[in-house]
Amino acid sequence: MLNWMAWTLPTAVFFIAIALLLVGMTVWQVLSPTIERRGFLPIVTTRGDRFFIGLLGSAYIQLLWLGLTDFTLWISLAIAAVYMAVVMRFG
């Protein structure tokens, strides 16, 4: 018997949002090719590199929040969004 993942609305919204962000990044790359640059991250990065690093960091923020606090996830979502914006802009 197969066990399928239970797709809740928040799960579907999350994956759709990631897919739309990837499509948006692709369109942005086609219209305006990225230039490698060095920000506060200790490596030279492209826009796609910073996006990936931002997604990874945001996932770790969410996991740490879930594991270490009992507060609502909306706060961690705001923290992760700010982190993502900082990495994309200044990373």
Q: Minimal CA–CA distance to 80: which of 40, 64, 5?
A: 64
Whether 3 maps to a domain, the answer reads no
Whether 59 maps to a domain, the answer reads yes
Q: Burial, 87: exposed, middle or buried (Cβ in 10 Å; 0-12, 13-18, 19+)? A: buried
What total number of domains does the chain contain? 1
Whether 42 maps to a domain, the answer reads yes
Whether 74 maps to a domain, the answer reads yes
Q: If you search the block for the tokens 């990065």, which residue do you land on? A: 45
Whether 57 maps to a domain, the answer reads yes
Q: If you search the block for the tokens 């790359």, which residue do you land on? A: 29
Domain that holds residue 28: 9-90
- Tens digit of each residue's pLDDT (9 = 90 or more) over 43-81: 899 998 999 999 999 999 989 998 999 888 889 889 999
Q: Output the CA torsion sign for 58, 85, 25, 8.
A: positive
Which pTM value belongs to this model? 0.78
- Is residue 53 within 8 A of residue 85, CB to CB? The reply is no
Whether 72 maps to a domain, the answer reads yes
